[in-house]
Amino acid sequence: MTHPAQPIASHFINGEYVEDTNGTPIPVIYAATGEQIATVYAATPEIVDRALSTAKEAQKAWAKMTGTERGRILRRAADIMRERNHELSVLETYDTGKPLQETLIADATSGADALEYFGGLAGSLTGEHIPMGEDWVYTVREALGLCVGIGAWNYPTQIACWKGAPALACGNSMVFKPSETTPLCALKVAEILHEAGAPAGIYNVIQGMGEVGGALVTDPRVDKVSLTGSVPTGKKVYAAAAEGMKHVTMELGGKSPLIIFDDADIDNAVGGAINGNFYSSGQVCSNGTRVFVQKGIKEKFLARLAERTGNAILGDPQDEATSFGPMVSENQMNIVLGYIEKGKEEGARLICGGKRADMDGYFIEPTVFADVTDDMTIAREEIFGPVMSVLDFDTEEEVIARANDTEFGLSAGVFTNDFSRAHRVIGQLEAGSCFINSYNDAPVEAPFGGVKASGVGRENSKEAIKHFSQVKSVYVRMGDVEAAF
């Protein structure tokens, strides 16, 4: 019997599902059991070409609609997503293995927020009037054209919407390629957008591995590439986009610091560290995986952390009582287990977890290492799993320097009851998305993105509009034209 997660077809192009079984089969594995629940097929060159030419053509009429008309469609799509939240969350859980307890509140709902927010902004995108004596200049905020979105596997619905909503609001069309690990959810986003009234060809989804991503990024018809992925992939995609002088947004990885001063509320700080390391089983780019704890409170912090981490409920992710799911894939599980072994070998003190859970699926116990030093592999490299490194520090000056000593710069957090210190420290941290007495909030109203190797550009907020549009300026002369001859 066909599993309910099996999509109607692999791709969504020109307003309809399209199948082409000539492409490489991509098995969809449910991470909680290891069973294959669906199959999609990678896009063949013919499918890539069809998606791009359709999107290129459809964009012209879409850009000519008023912003209010486009926005209405996006807001209608947001409503449909909210109405179907349960069904979409179940699918997200099959796609990623994340527990339903999370997906019910963090995925389709976050996607709907983006559609609603950018739908609301669409009618307000204007240029400006610049007086020049009797003459004047006016500016027009125009669409870029055809945008490509390439997604990572941790938030397949959210990423499809965070890229699609601002792109469409500005009058662009999109071809979106999900990660081959989680190909299911973006198809639903496309389906819902079209049900809400998006013209055929405005938002297309095609499947495939890096090869298909590469074909999209190098195609001359594409005006912009927005990638969520790892730093090595980001470097490749950025370079390929530069070759064609395309616009880019790069949302890449991190190894973010979470700094806890000795005057912080311990339970709130422990809560922040849990949210910043174990949500989505640690598969979150902005995670605060280097937890710097001031020496005076270290043992108290660790004891409370171990106690609360022990409350995690590992189990069937479709059961709402489960609060901690598996790694997205066997491959990712093995990568994370490798890092845990490195942590042990390099002398970090294991506080809890530290192994694969004794159950079906790709579960790893939530793991905390203490006495981690800056040079250890687990403190330097992005793990993308439930592995928290606790490091200790003495002074503010010291911890700022150590926090910044990384190639990454996505996020940073500070817990303290001294607000002058909180702002002083945040002001010196090299990161794009920061938190004071909190961690990992990502509302659509706030810009999201990194500095240094963690990325280029911003998603969400009004900032995203700048990255999906460009400004044309028009000089208007009222008098005669003077010329040298």
| Total Cβ atoms within 10 A of residue 288 | 28
Judge whether 83 counts as a catalytic residue.
Answer: no
The verdict on 205 binding ligand NDP (CB under 6 A) reads: no
Q: Please identify, using beta-carbon distances, which residue of 30 and 408 lies nearer to ligand NDP.
A: 408
Q: How many residues bind ligand NDP (CB under 6 A)?
A: 29
The verdict on 210 binding ligand NDP (CB under 6 A) reads: yes
Question: Is residue 137 a contact partner of residue 108, using CB atoms and an 8 Å limit?
Answer: no
Contact with ligand NDP (CB under 6 A): which of 71, 151, 276, 353?
A: 151
398: CB partners within 8 A, 6+ apart: none
Judge whether 235 counts as a catalytic residue.
Answer: no
Question: Is residue 169 a contact partner of residue 71, using CB atoms and an 8 Å limit?
Answer: yes
Contact with ligand NDP (CB under 6 A): which of 18, 237, 293, 368?
A: 237
The verdict on 217 binding ligand NDP (CB under 6 A) reads: yes
State how far the Cα of 379 lies from the Cα of 296, in Å rounded to an integer: 21
The verdict on 184 binding ligand NDP (CB under 6 A) reads: no
Q: Please give the order of strands across the beta sheet that includes 146-150.
A: 16-18, 11-13, 203-205, 173-177, 146-150, 224-228, 247-251, 455-456
Q: Least Å distance between CB 3 and ligand NDP?
A: 21
User: Nearest-CB residue to ligand NDP?
Assistant: 213
The verdict on 251 binding ligand NDP (CB under 6 A) reads: yes
Q: Three-state secondary structure along 222-291?
A: CCEEEEECCHHHHHHHHHHHHHCCCEEEEECCCCCEEEECCCCCHHHHHHHHHHCCCHHHHCCCCCCCEE
Stretch touching ligand NDP by CB under 6 A, among 152-160, 313-321, 395-403, 423-431: 152-160
Stretch touching ligand NDP by CB under 6 A, among 125-133, 205-213, 351-359, 419-427: 205-213
Residue 325: name the closest of 276, 291, 354, 359 by CA: 359
Q: Least Å distance between CB 324 and ligand NDP?
A: 19
Question: What is the rounded end-to-end Cα distance, in angstroms, of the chain?
Answer: 82
How are the residues of the chain apportioned to helix, strand and coil, as percentages rounded to the nearest 5?
A: 40, 20, 40
The verdict on 382 binding ligand NDP (CB under 6 A) reads: yes
State how far the Cα of 21 lies from the Cα of 18, in Å rounded to an integer: 10
State how far the Cα of 278 lies from the Cα of 246, in Å rounded to an integer: 36
Amino acid letter, residue 49: D
Q: Which of residues 452-481 bind ligand NDP (CB under 6 A)?
A: 455
Stretch touching ligand NDP by CB under 6 A, among 127-135, 246-254, 293-301, 474-482: 246-254
Helix extents (H) in 276-349: 298-309, 330-345
- Which of 180, 251, 365, 396 is labelled catalytic? 251
| CA dihedral over 412, 415, 419, 421, signed as positive or negative | negative
Phi, psi of 69 (to 5 degrees): -65, -45
- Which of 185, 285, 352, 434 is labelled catalytic? 285
Contact with ligand NDP (CB under 6 A): which of 221, 236, 342, 344?
A: 236
The verdict on 328 binding ligand NDP (CB under 6 A) reads: no
Stretch touching ligand NDP by CB under 6 A, among 64-72, 192-200, 250-258, 462-470: 250-258
Q: Which of residues 400-459 bind ligand NDP (CB under 6 A)?
A: 410, 450, 455
| Total Cβ atoms within 10 A of residue 87 | 12
State how far the Cα of 449 lies from the Cα of 467, in Å rounded to an integer: 12
The verdict on 20 binding ligand NDP (CB under 6 A) reads: no
Stretch touching ligand NDP by CB under 6 A, among 114-122, 144-152, 319-327, 474-482: 144-152
The verdict on 102 binding ligand NDP (CB under 6 A) reads: no
Q: Least Å distance between CB 108 and ligand NDP?
A: 17
DSSP string, 325-338: ---SSHHHHHHHHH
Q: Which of residues 274-303 bind ligand NDP (CB under 6 A)?
A: 285
- Which of 56, 98, 163, 298 is labelled catalytic? 163
Question: Is residue 333 a contact partner of residue 324, using CB atoms and an 8 Å limit?
Answer: no
State how far the Cα of 402 lies from the Cα of 26, in Å rounded to an integer: 42
Helix (H) or strand (E) holding 272: helix 266-275
Question: Is residue 92 a contact partner of residue 108, using CB atoms and an 8 Å limit?
Answer: yes
Structure tokens that stand for 26 in this block: 């991509």
Q: x/- binding map, residues 300-319, to ligand NDP, per CB under 6 A?
A: --------------------
Q: Least Å distance between CB 153 and ligand NDP?
A: 5
Q: Please identify, using beta-carbon distances, which residue of 117 and 408 lies nearer to ligand NDP.
A: 408
Residue 148: name the closest of 201, 187, 205 by CA: 205
| CA dihedral over 75, 80, 82, 85, signed as positive or negative | negative
The verdict on 166 binding ligand NDP (CB under 6 A) reads: no
Q: Please identify, using beta-carbon distances, which residue of 217 and 274 lies nearer to ligand NDP.
A: 217
The verdict on 384 binding ligand NDP (CB under 6 A) reads: yes
The verdict on 123 binding ligand NDP (CB under 6 A) reads: no
Judge whether 170 counts as a catalytic residue.
Answer: no
Judge whether 163 counts as a catalytic residue.
Answer: yes
Q: Rule CB under 6 A: which residues touch ligand NDP?
A: 150-154, 177, 179-180, 209-210, 213-214, 217, 227-230, 233, 236-237, 251-253, 285, 382, 384, 410, 450, 455
Mind telling me the catalytic residues? 163, 251, 285, 459
